[in-house]
Structure 1
Amino acid sequence: MITHIVMFKLKDRSAESIERTAQVLRDMEGKIDVLKHLEVGVDVLHSERSYDIALVTKFESMEALEAYQVHPVHKKVIEHMSQVRDASVSVDYVS
């Protein structure tokens, strides 16, 4: 299993903007066959160093993760995120 985690800091850090973007991420659930687990968390601390949203996804293999990266549904999410994010960081590991 491969776990893929991405954290996003948004340009607009208002609660409405964060929730709207969190929903864009949640909307991938059930639409990408290689995506075995999806969890979206919204930060509750709101410190200066906090990121606003965490996306945790799981895949059966690296090939599945690669297929996810180019899936049309994920590509639409990437378009949205490129417009609203200020910064992002990620980690991928065998789980």
Structure 2
Amino acid sequence: MSDFNRRQFLATSALAGASLAVSSSLSATQPQAPVMPKLLHHVFFWLKNPESAQDRAQLITGIKTLAAIETVRSFHVGVPASTEKREVVDNSYHVSELLGFDDVAGQDAYQVHPIHQKFVEQYQHLWSRVVVYDVLAVD
């Protein structure tokens, strides 16, 4: 590397580092609340064979395909957390998905999307029960 290229690289790196430092200090002084999607679609699955790690892994793999649907704005798949046992906590489900959408129209489009339809067709044999909570944010 020539001296000119090395100096140019170092100067560019210094500018990039300074830019990051400024943006970090700005975000530290002005915390921003995370932007949540307007509509949350939370689905809880109970497996037919809850002892089967293979069934659980297969369902999780299937759920992950749903993230590719264009109207999905946020995506989370999980299993019950080992949190404090309290009367108000229901951790009887085996797998859950939480999807975010801009609006009801986006969630409606998701329901009829070929990827969602294929998911239901290919994986419904794994679950014995499904419960859905759709939540619309209030202003």
Greater relative CO, 1 or 2 (CA 8 Å, sep 6+) = 1
Structure 1 CA distance, aligned partners of 2:71 and 2:63? 15
1:42 CA displacement: 1.9
Partner of 2:16: none
- Percent identity, please: 27
1:53 aligns to 2:95 (yes or no): yes
Measured at CA, do residues 44 and 12 of structure 1 come closer, stay the same or move farther in structure 2, by a change above 3 Å? farther
**Greater strand share, structure number:** 1
Letter in 2 for 1:25: I
Structure 2 CA distance, aligned partners of 1:58 and 1:27? 15
1:68 aligns to 2:110 (yes or no): yes
Aligned length: 91
- TM-score, normalised to structure 2, is 0.61
Deviations 1:41-92 (A, max 9, x none): 02355xxx61100110000000000000000000011113321110011100
Unaligned runs of 5+ in 2: 1-37, 83-90
**Greater helix share, structure number:** 2
Structure number with larger C-alpha Rg: 2
2:69 to 32, 43, 49: 32
Q: What's the secondary structure of 2:43's corresponding residue?
A: strand
CA RMSD, Structure 1 to Structure 2 (Å): 1.4
Structure 1 CA distance, aligned partners of 2:122 and 2:81? 23
1:43 aligns to 2:85 (yes or no): no
Runs of 4+ in 1 over 4 A off after TM superposition: none
Structure 1 CA distance, aligned partners of 2:128 and 2:43? 13
Partner of 1:85: 127
**Is the contact made by 1:36 and 1:58 (CA closer than 8 Å) also made in structure 2?**
yes
